[in-house]
């Protein structure tokens, strides 16, 4: 177990003000906030793509290789390699050091998990946006990480594709993978979140179980965000 992930007084330039957070296995965590609140930067600090300008990010385990292998991230716009869908997943497994003999079967299982088994040989770049994002989920999930960070994974998708992506995320969640997802979509936060971390101008204003967050948010900013956002859900 590499979880829990502990952020101690983590700051990043003037985007993230010093904050402390502990992310543990179990219920899914939604990082909610308006555009520019610092959600993406916070996710990147957790995932290790950005180094904090102050404070520290620590996992329970210190073995860097295991920590890297047991977490994955799905971006708003996934970058697909110019090769088949299957080869994209195989590439991720190869980079992670999975023995060659195991790669294809593992990759095929991951594709099946997200409902893309029939498109395994299709070049990844010609897949639709929704299919590419499902492929990104398969690529992230292929190594069975303990935690998956999702940065607005449906922000550029239509409602049908969004539903498909959410179904996959729910399946990962049910399978025991910790979900940490950034979104500004309240409906999605409601559908997928067990707890909500509300981020406003680089500060964590509250961390509340999802049902309570939507019925009685603790902070005035969150209340205004919920009120302002609802018509768009």
Partner 1 sequence: MQEFPGVLAEARLWQIVALSLEVSLSAVGLAALAGLPLGAALAVARFPGRHALIVLLNALMGLPPVVVGLAIYLLLSRAGPLGALGLLFTPGAMVIAQTVLILPIIAALSRQAVEDAWREYEEQLRSLGARGMQAALTVLWDIRFSLLTVILAGLGRAAAEVGAVIIVGGNIDGVTRVMTTAIALETSKGDLPLALGLGVVLIAVVIAVNAAAFLVKEAAQRRYG
Contacting positions for partner 1 (CB under 8 A): 44, 47, 49, 68-69, 72-73, 75, 78-79, 81-83, 91-92, 95-96, 123-126, 139
CA distance between the termini of the chain: 36
- Which residue number, 78 or 193, has a Cβ lying nearer to partner 1? 78
Q: Interior CA angle at 142 toward 136 and 146, to 5°?
A: 100
- Taking the CA atoms of 173, 179, 185 and 186 in sequence, report the sign of the dihedral they define: positive
Tally Cβ neighbours within 10 Å of residue 186: 21
| Secondary structure (DSSP) of 91-115 | HHHHHTT--HHHHHHHHHHHHHHTT
- Which residue number, 79 or 167, has a Cβ lying nearer to partner 1? 79
d(CA 65, CA 58): 14
- Which residue number, 142 or 226, has a Cβ lying nearer to partner 1? 142
- Which residue number, 84 or 201, has a Cβ lying nearer to partner 1? 84
Q: CB 143 → partner 1: shortest distance, Å?
A: 9
| Phi, psi for 3 (deg, rounded to 5) | -80, 155
- Which residue number, 177 or 208, has a Cβ lying nearer to partner 1? 177
Q: CB 226 → partner 1: shortest distance, Å?
A: 30
Side-chain-side CA neighbours of 22 within 13 Å: the count stands at 6
* Residue 120: strand, helix, or coil: coil
Q: CB 41 → partner 1: shortest distance, Å?
A: 12
Q: CB 70 → partner 1: shortest distance, Å?
A: 11
Q: CB 197 → partner 1: shortest distance, Å?
A: 21
């Amino acid at each position: 177990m590499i979880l829990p992930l502990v952020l101690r007084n983590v700051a990043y330039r003037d985007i993230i003000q010093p904050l402390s957070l502990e992310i543990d296995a179990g219920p899914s965590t939604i990082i909610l906030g308006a555009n520019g609140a610092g959600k993406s930067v916070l996710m990147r600090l957790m995932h290790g793509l950005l180094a904090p300008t102050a404070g520290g990010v620590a996992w329970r385990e210190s073995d860097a290789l295991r920590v890297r292998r047991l977490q994955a991230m799905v971006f708003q716009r996934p970058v697909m390699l110019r090769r088949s869908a299957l080869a994209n997943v195989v590439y991720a497994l190869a980079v992670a050091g999975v023995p060659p003999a195991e790669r294809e079967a593992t990759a095929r299982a991951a594709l099946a998990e997200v409902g893309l088994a029939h498109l395994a040989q299709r070049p990844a770049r010609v897949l639709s946006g929704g299919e590419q994002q499902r492929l990104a989920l398969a690529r992230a999930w292929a190594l069975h990480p303990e935690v998956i960070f999702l940065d607005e994974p449906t922000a550029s998708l239509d409602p049908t594709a969004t539903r498909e992506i959410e179904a996959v995320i729910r399946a990962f969640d049910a399978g025991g993978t910790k979900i940490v997802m950034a979104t500004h979509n309240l409906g999605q936060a409601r559908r997928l979140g067990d707890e909500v971390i509300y981020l406003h101008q680089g500060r964590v204003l509250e961390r509340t179980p999802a049902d309570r967050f939507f019925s009685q948010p603790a902070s005035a900013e969150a209340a205004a965000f919920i009120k302002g956002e609802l018509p768009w859900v």
